[in-house]
Amino acid sequence: MSDTIKIKQIRSRIRCPKDQKAALNALGLKKLHNVVEVEDNPSVRGNIQKVRHLIEVVEE
């Protein structure tokens, strides 16, 4: 059983750079207040770190 993380988008992507929009897409976040469950691995942690001002970690 692999660990998962639940993350929620809390701020808009409208004025973000392309790389941050790509990180949100990679995490599966499309809309505000959307909650997704992703696997806990180094690539996901890197994307979370890149957009930490736009999301919040709901559950680890």
Helix-strand-coil percent breakdown of the chain, rounded to 5?
30, 25, 40
- A 10 A CB-CB count for 1 gives 3
pLDDT interval class at 59 (50, 70, 90): confident
Give the Cα separation of 21 and 57 in Å (integer): 18
The model carries a pTM of: 0.91
Question: 6-58 pLDDT, tens per residue?
Answer: 999 999 999 999 999 999 999 999 999 999 999 999 999 999 999 999 999 99
pLDDT digits (tens, 9 = 90+) for 2-13: 699 999 999 999
Tokens encoding 6: 């639940």
User: Quick check: 57 and 48 in contact, CB under 8 A?
Assistant: yes
For residue 1, the model assigns a pLDDT of: 45
Cα four-point dihedral sign 26, 28, 30, 31: negative
